[in-house]
Amino acid sequence: MPLSAASDRDAHQRDPQPGLPKATFNFRCIGCGSMASNAAQDFRCSQCNNLLEITDPSWNSSGPSASALKSMWRERRSSNATLDLSGVWRFRELLPMPESEQHVVSLREGNTPLYELPQSSRSTGVPHLYAKHQGMNPTGSFKDTGMTVASTFARQAGYRWVACASTGNTSASMAAYAARGGMRSVVLVPEGKISWSKLSQALDYGALTCQLRTDFDGCLRLLQELVRRAPVYQLNSINPFRLEGQKTLAFELLEQLDWQPPDHIIVPGGNLGNSSAIGKALLEMRDVGLVSRLPRLSVIQAEGANALVRTLREAGGKRLVRVQAETRATAIRIGNPASWEKAVKVIQATGGACEQVSEVEIAQAKAEIGAEGIGCEPASAVTLAGLKKFVRSGFVKPDESVVLVLTGNLLKDPDFTMEFHRGDLFSGTGHQRDSDFLSSLRHPPVVLDATLEAVIQTLERAEKSDPTHTNA
């Protein structure tokens, strides 16, 4: 078959090119702990079928000291070398390295801003509140930080095709990195359940885009079968190289906070790769001595896609409670999260928590983050909604510092935003009544005659209706 002729299925087993440093990392099973220097196509343990993670002895004992790492990473911010310009590869001492720099596929990902949130700070009563905006990555989501690493290893392995199942952002990111790396990409997305802007990104970056008549969980199941049958390299977060790249969010965040850990990091949960990656990074940073204290890592899900919440509450984190997922935050419309066990481990290791929020709470929080002049997609807004619940329950105390991880850009889901501001978001749903109070956050467009008088009258009406609004 022409596909297999152009790929190398045993690529992780190859020796490096002569003269280049040999990779020192290994794959470790998160279930039985068995170690291997290579991984099968499905990235599952050959003994017990559980997920793999990447480890490297040089990340603690034999590597550079914490203070050497801190100054090296800071110095690289003024360098114009390709690897240093990436907010992922800048932290390469704690990442798996390819055999050659030539394999690296980068779009200068990472280096995302850490914003203060003054209005949300006041409304939640948490003075030290920040947003780490991963929506400011090249394709508009946090996926890029993982994709640069995983697509690099796909390219090094000589794959012609890469593939993923996606609720939209992974497919957009994978398609972009495949295009940059000279590979072809195939995406499996649930038909009618991903936003147009994410779908349009995949099309523009040249992906073979398959809209399947199923949900995300159905797409991911099919992908698992596909990678066993065809020589395509899977770029879902089951691929542990993805999580390695996504670790850098935590490195960069701590650097931005001058290595003073916040008390809490709050992240949305879908397939649970990102929370697992951030948690892994926190634990590794502690082992290396980069931080002396761990922030609590907490995960927020939509009520209609609350598999992890139920797994922890009903099964003590010991077995996955699957759900039939439904939420307008389509990025996290996932009922059978692949990385649930990794997420449970890091939540427990850091003393974090897991909470769920309603559709109305998500819409409100998204509008409030928009009103900060930042904006994000609905899935990211669960973090602010979850924070409010944590403050009410006392899990977050007013004197504690909190970082919300905003995973996707506002422009990722314009339909949601337009429907919210026009007042149609909850039309025909059971939430219509309880969402009435959101009207003060709505800013619908007004259609006017093209006269100065009409514009001035509208301006005056707006001023009267909100005389207290200040820029402070």
Q: Which positions lie near ligand F0G, rule CB under 6 A?
A: 141, 166-170, 237, 268-275, 331-332, 377, 379-380, 407-408
When the beta carbons of 69 and 194 are compared against ligand F0G, the nearer one is 194
Do the beta carbons of residue 45 and residue 118 sit within 8 Å?
Answer: no
Q: Which of 384, 230, 376 is nearest to 298 (CA)?
A: 384
Q: How many residues belong to the chain?
A: 472
| Shortest separation between residue 204's beta carbon and ligand F0G, angstroms | 16
When the beta carbons of 181 and 269 are compared against ligand F0G, the nearer one is 269
| Shortest separation between residue 238's beta carbon and ligand F0G, angstroms | 11
d(CA 363, CA 119): 16
| Shortest separation between residue 445's beta carbon and ligand F0G, angstroms | 25
Please report, in angstroms and rounded to a whole number, the separation of the first and last CA atoms in the chain.
Answer: 64
| Beta bridge pairs of residue 55 | 26
When the beta carbons of 124 and 275 are compared against ligand F0G, the nearer one is 275
| Shortest separation between residue 436's beta carbon and ligand F0G, angstroms | 27
> How does strand 26-29 pair with strand 35-36?
antiparallel
d(CA 110, CA 205): 20
Q: Which of 269, 147, 136 is nearest to 205 (CA)?
A: 147
Tokens found for residue 239: 């691929």
| Shortest separation between residue 447's beta carbon and ligand F0G, angstroms | 32
When the beta carbons of 140 and 295 are compared against ligand F0G, the nearer one is 140
| Shortest separation between residue 327's beta carbon and ligand F0G, angstroms | 11
Tokens found for residue 398: 């007013």
When the beta carbons of 41 and 271 are compared against ligand F0G, the nearer one is 271
d(CA 384, CA 172): 25
Do the beta carbons of residue 436 and residue 163 sit within 8 Å?
Answer: no
| Shortest separation between residue 307's beta carbon and ligand F0G, angstroms | 11
DSSP for 19-54 reads TSPPP--EEEETTT--EESS--TT-B-TTT--BEEE
When the beta carbons of 174 and 396 are compared against ligand F0G, the nearer one is 174
d(CA 388, CA 384): 6
When the beta carbons of 157 and 376 are compared against ligand F0G, the nearer one is 376
| Shortest separation between residue 201's beta carbon and ligand F0G, angstroms | 11
| Shortest separation between residue 228's beta carbon and ligand F0G, angstroms | 20
| Shortest separation between residue 379's beta carbon and ligand F0G, angstroms | 4
When the beta carbons of 156 and 383 are compared against ligand F0G, the nearer one is 383
Q: How many Å separate Cα 316 from the centre of its chain?
A: 25
Q: Which of 74, 6, 99, 123 is nearest to 372 (CA)?
A: 123
Q: Which of 124, 85, 117 is nearest to 101 (CA)?
A: 85
Phi, psi of 105 (to 5 degrees): -105, 115
Using the Cα atoms of residue 354, residue 359, residue 361 and residue 362 in order, give the sign of their dihedral: positive
When the beta carbons of 97 and 384 are compared against ligand F0G, the nearer one is 384
When the beta carbons of 262 and 270 are compared against ligand F0G, the nearer one is 270
